[in-house]
Structure 1
Amino acid sequence: MLSLLAATAAASEPIQWAELGLRPYLFEIGSFQLRYYSLAYLFAILFAYWHLSKMIKSPGAPMAQRHADDLFFYCTLGVIVGGRLGYAAFYQPDLFGGVELFQLWNGGMSFHGGVIGVLVAISWVAWRGALNWLRVCDYIAVNVPIGYMLGRIANFINGELYGRPVEGDLAWAMVFPGGGEIARHPSQLYQAGLEGLLLGVLLIALFWTTRARYRAGLLVGLFTIGMGAGRFVNEFFREPDAHLAYRVAETGLSQGQWLSLPMIAVGVAVMIYALIQPPVGGKSVSSKPQAA
């Protein structure tokens, strides 16, 4: 990243991504490569598990450690399965019926599909443990943006999912491999900063410094609005998938923007519900197994 900052400061011409010394893997042994995208998923999951374990030790937690352990497994499964199936359903339906659907290493994961997968996982764990579903969603939502940030940084390191061509002068405009000799927005970094870092810091601060955790649905509602609005704005800078460019030409909005609009609407509805309901009590869920 230091090379990126130096290049930005000195740039009179677009920055050449290829000259930043980036590569998609940390190291390789034979045909095996430890890719940054895989590391992003790994560190996102580990951070979420660590932070959630700290959160449930605070007063008023809606779950115990055993529930966090179950969520760790099922949400990880939900992100992977939901993200891949969502990508196929929303962006590339021709993947269904072929082995390419299972080739995750070739890329193609949908954030919206991942959200659906996580919601299914939370629903399963909440139903089995007789937990307050909305409050469990609050606790999970706080941990998602940091993982999202890591994923978008990995996209930048891979030189993929780059932005639209820049109009006029922009000090940090970049030329990406595969994007032609055209200066483009590094939209991966925009998303990492807005939907990732900024939203993550806001949610974590609200959890630890306010009583937002006692308003069932407030944090997940804010998360949903923030993710939907951030994605909607950033799609103006992100290059649409080639096979879905017609959607922008026909409607003026990208597929990602159309998928973000219902997210914003749902988030607003959940926040309104959270604010008109009385706050929940401060009784925590016991970490001891229930007697048979």
Structure 2
Amino acid sequence: MIGACPASFDLIDPVLFTIPKVWIIGPLPIRWYALAYIAGLFGGLFWVLRLVGNGGLWGTTPKTQTAPYNRAFVDDLVLWIMIGVIVGGRLGYVLFYNTSMIWETPVRVITGITDGGMSFHGGLIGVTLAMVLTARAHGAPLLRVSDAVAAATPIGLFFGRLANFINGELWGRAAPELPWAMRFAADPTCQLRHPSQLYEAALEGVVLFVILSVLVYRFKALTRPGLVTGGFLMGYGVFRAFVELFREPDRQMPEALQGYVTMGMVLCIPMIALGAYLVWRARKAPAVGERAA
């Protein structure tokens, strides 16, 4: 890995392989970062289709004995979600974390995406817009769409955080006393740090996926529109805010708040609040197929 510091891990090159130059095209590096997005997208698609194919998870009404939408809708939705993730994630990173890029190196807003620099919160906004517009175009119930997407999102988060680790970005705070602390090649201070990307992969990816799956399969959460979406928003917000305690602090906060509150924590507050509201709303209403009292 190229950088000012000899990395603690150098067995994984961020570039898997490079397609040689053909005429005027190339060379084209194939990066683990891009492959992680592809793996997350197709892994999420597989899980959404698995949920859609199990009509018993969604409850029954006199009009439907299956999921409230079909494979054709999901295929259309995935295309727009992919666009929402990429565009929203990149613009969110620039606006929330690297605003100066707009006037200093505007071309890097687009061309720098292959080197990393994506915001989950920006991607969430992009995905939300994709779901709203696609659901409206197909006449699908928005909360029931978002519930399936929310249940699958930890798959993409898991692969994305692994890609952050391979890229040697978004590292943690200095922790020289930890036996598992690592150095990252791009770190100009060359300190031993928390591998916070792996913490996030475990919590936001594996643990959150298990929690949502238990809600879906054990507690039939898909019969209560908005419950899985709310659970995801609350779970991600809490886990992300927790990991921010070990992640290198952002520099976007006012100097008086640095060391206490990070941009990631601030962006998680509305997520947790909205998630709590959706959970309360879903639990208050009767489940699909039940009669209101």
Corresponding residue to 1:280 among 250, 272, 288: 288
Distance 1:29 1:78 in 2: 27
CA deviation after TM superposition for structure 1 residue 246, in Å? 4.7
Q: 1 or 2, which has the higher helix percentage?
A: 1
Tell me if structure 1 keeps the 8 A contact 2:116–2:167: no
SS of residue paired to 1:53: helix
Q: How many Å separate the matches in 1 of 2:40 and 2:153?
A: 8
**Could you tell me how far apart the structure 2 residues matched to 1:238 and 1:250 are?**
13
Distance in 2, Cα, partners of 1:174 & 1:154: 16
Partner of 2:277: 269
- Tell me what 2:77 maps to: 71
What are the ranges of 5 or more consecutive residues in structure 2 without an aligned counterpart? Answer: 1-5, 21-26, 59-66
Letter in 1 for 2:261: L
Q: Which moved more, 1:27-36 or 1:63-72?
A: 27-36
Q: 1:25 aligns with which of 2, 15, 20?
A: 15
**Alignment RMSD (CA, Å):** 1.9
C-alpha distance in 1, partners of 2:184/2:99?
A: 27
Match of 1:3 in 2: none
Tell me, yes or no, if the aligned pair for 1:225 and 1:263 is still in contact at 8 Å. yes
Match of 1:221 in 2: 230
Cα offset for 1:248?
7.1
Query: How far did residue 18 of structure 1 move?
Result: 4.0
For 2:273 and 2:29, the matched residues in 1 are separated by: 41
Report what 2:31 is aligned to.
Answer: 35
3-state SS of the aligned residue for 1:96? Answer: helix
Deviations 1:8-65 (A, max 9, x none): xxxxxxxx74444121022223332211111100011111111211211111322111
Partner of 2:93: 87
| Identity among equivalent pairs (%) | 40
Is the Cα–Cα contact under 8 Å of residues 247 and 254 in structure 1 kept in the other structure?
A: no
TM-score when normalising by structure 2: 0.85
Runs of 4+ residues deviating >3 angstroms: 16-20, 245-251
Structure-1 separation of matches of 2:85 and 2:171:
23
1:242-282 Cα deviation digits (max 9, x unpaired):
x4265574472011111111111111111000100111139
Q: 1:133 and 1:47 mapped to 2: Cα distance?
A: 21
Deviations along 1:100-133, whole A, 9 cap, x unmatched?
A: 2212223211100100111101001111111111
TM-score (norm 1): 0.85
**Which digits, 9 at most, give the CA deviation of each residue in 1:229-250, with x for residues without a partner?**
1110101111134x42655744
Structure 1 gap ranges (5+): 1-15, 283-292
1-side partners of 2:174 and 2:259: how far apart?
A: 19
Q: Which amino acid aligns with 1:164?
A: R
Match for residue 55 of structure 1 among 34, 43, 51: 51
Aligned mates of 1:245, 1:276 — CA distance in 2: 38
Aligned residue identity for 1:133: L
- 2: CA distance, partners of 1:87 / 1:23: 24
Contact kept, 8 Å, 2:116 with 2:164, in 1: the verdict is no
Matches within 5 A, 1:173-192: 173-179=181-187, 180-192=189-201
Corresponding position of 1:163: 172
Give the secondary-structure state (helix, strand or coil) at the position aligned to 1:244.
coil
Match of 2:127 among 118, 140, 144: 118
How many residues are matched? Answer: 265
